[in-house]
Amino acid sequence: MDKFVITGGAALRGEIPTNGSKNSALPALAAGLLTDEAVTLHRVPRVRDIRTMERLLVDIGTTVDVEGETVRLRTERILSPEAPYELVKTMRASSLVLGPLVARSGRARVSLPGGCAIGARPINLHIFGLEQLGATINQAHGYIEAVAPDGLRGAVVHFDRITVTGTEDLMMAAVLARGETVLRNAAREPEVVDLADLLIKMGANIEGAGTSTIRIQGVERLHGAEHTIIADRIEAGTFLVAGAITGGDLTVTRCNPEHVGALVSKLQQCGVEVTQPDATSLRVRGTGRLRSVDMTTEEYPGFATDLQAQYMALMTQAEGIAIIVETIFENRFMHAQELARMGANIRLDGKQAIVAGPHALTGAGVIASDLRASASLVLGALVAKGETVIDRVYHIDRGYEKIETKLAGVGAKIRRVV
């Protein structure tokens, strides 16, 4: 298994580019199932979760051609409307094929995900929504089977709680349903808006994406389209924290500053200088002293749960006490114990992590437990004294493309050991 060996202490300087968004590209790939024409996606990051989704689409019957960051999809016919356990267990976003498959072929069989490193993560809201649209759902042998032989019909779907992929899944189901669908308490994440933009290019009729009420008028059929995926706000945010924690002078390019507004505001409150040199860049400069600031994760436009672990690494180096509250997932503090092994002072109390700083970190052997937790360990290692060895970096490869090359390019002492 690959490992990262990182020697801390170097302040990061220079420019670091952002890739296309993994969490936007995943539903965009699934949307390719909604038409028999070609869908071409640009700026698709070459990360492991994307490859998993591409494998799933090939199994279903899609021809997938990859050239650099461009992916061309064509699903003339659905051969097997199924997402097997082997793929779903490595990537929950596989459940994103549920909506498009029922909409296109009247049938889908998707493995139930089971537990995961960051929480229970059920898909009950995806199922509830499809039932509202007229699908009949059966559960057996660990699989959910949804059938709608006469097609789906528009309905009002009021989500009990906000779900990002649930909103995306239902949006993809509703675009081919008869009549109007209204999604209430919908997720407002930029990835939802990006998916709506793609679907509209394919001929869908969608209004309100980016607000909590999305209205969809079903159409008979969708056609091919070409679309460029938005910048990955979580990757951009991770790099901003890397600049801040190392007290460097780092410009994160090819990003959308608006999408990381909540993080930028926190960084400024902590005493980090953040400026916007142009429309798609953010420059972060350490001022030598970090102040602790409390943070609570929220749905967009609040502070992203996907940046909580990275922020915790930063708070280990800040002066004072920071209370970090995780409200989205029930078990997303796995990085705290590993950061503590490096010398951080963190106490966990249910949904809260209490971080007292600054505590000098020292290099240690640590284990990556999930994607964003691994990112926080890389950040901790960048300021730790001596050498840190991070095991199981396949977790980080799920969502960050060549992070070690990018960080090394701005002065980090990091290498991959195979």
Catalytic site residues?
116
Q: Are 230 and 21 in contact (CB under 8 A)?
A: yes
Positive or negative, the Cα torsion across 253, 259, 261, 263? negative
Q: How far is the CB of 216 from ligand EPU (least distance, A)?
A: 18
Selected from 4, 239, 303, 329, the binder of ligand EPU by CB under 6 A is 329
Residue 119 within binding range of ligand EPU, rule CB under 6 A: yes
Where do we find the tokens 């922020």? 311
Where do we find the tokens 């021809």? 63
One-letter amino acid for residue 270 of the chain: C
Q: Are 274 and 267 in contact (CB under 8 A)?
A: yes
User: Of 57-65, 116-124, 132-140, 201-209, which part binds ligand EPU (CB under 6 A)?
Assistant: 116-124
Q: Which one, 237 or 380, has the nearer CB to ligand EPU?
A: 237
Selected from 62, 94, 132, 165, the binder of ligand EPU by CB under 6 A is 165
Other beta carbons within 10 Å of 138 = 10
Q: How far is the CB of 166 from ligand EPU (least distance, A)?
A: 5
Q: What is the DSSP letter of 187?
A: -
Using CB under 6 A as the binding rule, the residues of this chain from 299 to 328 that contact ligand EPU are: 305-306, 328
The two three-digit tokens of residue 39, written as one number: 């869908």
Q: Which one, 191 or 197, has the nearer CB to ligand EPU?
A: 191
Instruction: Compose the 10-39 pattern: x for residues touching ligand EPU by CB under 6 A, - for all others.
Output: -------------x--x-------------
User: Of 30-38, 98-106, 118-126, 346-354, which part binds ligand EPU (CB under 6 A)?
Assistant: 118-126
* Separation of alpha carbons 18 and 280, rounded Å: 10
- H runs (alpha helix) in 203-333: 233-245, 261-269, 308-315
The values of phi and psi at residue 275, to 5°, are -130, 165
Residue 260 within binding range of ligand EPU, rule CB under 6 A: no
Residue 351 within binding range of ligand EPU, rule CB under 6 A: no
* Separation of alpha carbons 13 and 285, rounded Å: 9
Selected from 8, 32, 99, 399, the binder of ligand EPU by CB under 6 A is 399
Q: Please report, as ranges, the residues that interact with ligand EPU according to CB under 6 A.
A: 23, 26, 92-93, 119-126, 161, 163-166, 191, 305-306, 328-329, 371-372, 399
